[in-house]
Amino acid sequence: MSATELIRRGTRLPCRPVPRHVLAPEDFARLPAALVMQPSLALLSLWAEPAMLHAAFLDEADGTLLLASTPAESGHYPALSTARPSAVRFERMIHDLWGLEAVGGLDLRAWLDHGRWPLTLPMAARPARNGARPEQPTFLPVEGEGWHQIPVGPVHAGIIEPGHVRFTVQGELVVRLEQRLGYTHKGTLGLMLGKSPRTAARFAARLSGDSTVAHSLAFAEAAEAASGTTPPPRALWLRAAMLELERLANHLNDWGAICNDASFTWLHAQCGLLREGLLRAHLDAFGHRLMMDRVIPGGLATEPQPSGIAAILAALAAVESALPGLVSIYEEHASLQDRVVGTGVLAPALAAGFAVGGVVGRASGRGFDARVAFPNGPFSGGPPTMAVRQEGDVDARVRVRLAEIPESLRLIRRILATLPPGEIHAPLPQKGGEGLALVEGFRGEIVTWMALDDGGLIRAVFPRDPSWLQWPLLEAAMEGNIVADFPLCNKSFNCSYSGVDL
């Protein structure tokens, strides 16, 4: 029996747009072996509630979504990491927050909990006070002569989020990279519980500040699916434009930062100038440079100013005018190409095995884009053209971004030129339900699941940032490179710390 058939045998519960299937523990125990036999069933996300485990899958053979759950009253569940290594960090997070143990899991070390929380298992039914002294983090051991370990962080020289990176090296050659995150844990899931989606939307907007539109949109779409709400067409069109504006600003920022880490500061400055023009246009149109808190469940919080729309179009024209010359300079400087070509290669087989999305996945041969696979609103009338490369190096990740910039310019202009009139918000009814949403942010697809109680308040929620699947692959991409290439590899992935620290 295939994993798909096994999941669909479970008790079917209503969830939009796909039902959720609850498997008996003995059936869920058969799932890892079935997943090994069905490599096309990609793990998208793994999360929990007290005494209940949930998993989201994508069948890449036919593009269908599947949701599976199993009771875990005993505090245990069969590990999925034996069949899907991408489950490892989810399983560690689930143990830290809910206290559920993945039996047979590949890695059972703590992830978010560094031993400094006042409570242990904060999302469990009965959290306990933490009276133990914090322990030192444990890393994979290294033995033999000529090996060295270099600890970096969690505090870094630049103004970036905190995270610890442990290099194992021979000379300058990196043979292992291991990450320790969780320093920006905010208790976001607990803060959302018991609140209305409209109130909790502010927490979603702050999961990862550079993806505030994408996370807000995924949260809003999950709430709308759970409550059976359809936003007005004008709101759908404006949301899509805002999503592409956020993608455009971040792609410019990443491109410039990658060049800066290769000591090519001029391109960094030029990209920063173009991005600044976009952010100022966002402020003119929506009252916030990052458009934070503008996407809300049911639609939008504010109508864009006409002068701001004109500012956006002018900023788009500036990007379009400058882009060919900047690309030419990027391609023609041998010293820059020497740093990015062949550096930090992520093998397509690893990208496929982890079902990694976004620029990281598409630069390593995995052609998935939620705007194409599950188009809605204006995307259903003309989705973007995917740029897919096979090289998997820093340069390939740059070139995917460069191919997506003109597509975003085209989409934004088309959307703004065809904006339908009307309202920008529809209220959510106070009713129960479950919903799932996939939104293609600039890093990749965000997967948000939400369950509302009968009063329309959040009973459970889990927003999965693309970085959950990308961080482990950065470790793999660094193997065989030199320490000095880490900034290039790290920035070309540009994973979010805050997005996975919750």
Question: 10-residue block means of pLDDT along the chain (502 residues)?
Answer: 95 97 96 96 98 97 96 95 97 97 94 92 91 81 84 84 92 92 95 98 97 98 98 97 98 97 96 98 98 98 96 98 98 95 97 97 97 90 90 98 98 96 96 97 98 97 98 96 95 96 93
pLDDT computed for residue 145 by the predictor: 81
Task: Let me know how long the chain is.
Answer: 502
**φ and ψ of 296, to 5 deg:** -135, 160
Task: Give the DSSP H/E element, type plus range, for residue 433.
Answer: strand 433-440
Predicted local distance difference test score (pLDDT) of residue 368: 96
Take residue 352 and report the two structure tokens written for it: 């496929």
Q: Which residue has the tokens 């729309």?
A: 309
Pair 492, 253: CB distance under 8 Å: no
Distance linking the first and last C-alpha atoms of the chain: 36
Angle at 348 between CA 346 and CA 350, to 5 degrees: 70
Q: How far is CA 323 from CA 155, 362, 406, in A?
A: 35, 21, 9
Strand order of the sheet with strand 64-71?
11-13, 20-22, 64-71, 52-59, 41-49
Question: Would you state the structure tokens that stand for residue 184, as one six-digit string?
Answer: 């920006």
Record the pTM: 0.96
